[in-house]
Amino acid sequence: MLTRKQHELICFINDRLAETGVSPSFEEMKDALELKSKSGVHRLISALEERQFIRRLPNRARALEVLRMPERAAPKAKSPKPARDAAPARGTGNVRTVPQPANDVVEIPLHGRIAAGVPIEAFEGHSMLAVPAALLGGGEHYALEVSGDSMVEAGILDGDYALIRRTEIAHDGEIVVALIDDSEATLKYFRHEGAMVRLDPANRSYDPQRYAPNQVRVQGRLAGLLRRY
């Protein structure tokens, strides 16, 4: 069962797709639902995505597809309306909708710098980082600025922003944020080795780090990277 805001949002998206063939922007969804920020829209979309009511189309920032509507809220049948700059299709009198470009972004917490080499103090400072919505999936996310070169062979460079999905569960072979002794954080491959936890770098110049399980707490899994040039 959906919450009232989730129900309002999926109906708004469905109506807009029926009218224009283009999903609404995050700003339009925020205004329609009278929310204070676009991060609230992102949370609602993630919840609808996890419940398989909608899905994000790959490689496009503004592309949502309604998979199904909640009960008692069947899709409205509306005639598509042409976009303002739509042009007639050649040889017919029909109107061809021209999608408008969009650059929807979501602001997520930026918790300072994280070591991709020797562990450093965890979560220094707190600010917000604007991230293209298309880079994030479902769930709660935060960002960390990478410091060091021990993950270069995984394509993670010094100065990159690691986009982290918050979770306390990790499987062998996943890249995670590991909090060591509740004071230092590092970005590494997570693996079990007998009774120990092994944190592996992606750089042959560095050695694996081994800890007792009670020394390590997973703080999230790598969901994506943001790099500025």
Of the residues 23, 46, 147, 150, which is catalytic?
Answer: 150
Q: Is 78 a known active-site residue?
A: no
Task: Tell me if residue 81 is catalytic.
Answer: no
Residue tagged active-site, from 23, 39, 147, 188 = 188
Query: N- to C-terminal Cα distance for the chain?
Result: 44
SS (H, E, C) 34-99: CCCCHHHHHHHHHHHHHCCCEEECCCCCCCEEECCCCCCCCCCCCCCCCCCCCEECCCCCCEECCC
The encoded tokens of residue 203 equal 């750089």
Cβ partners under 8 Å of residue 40, min gap 6: 30, 33
Would you name the residues annotated as active-site residues? 150, 188
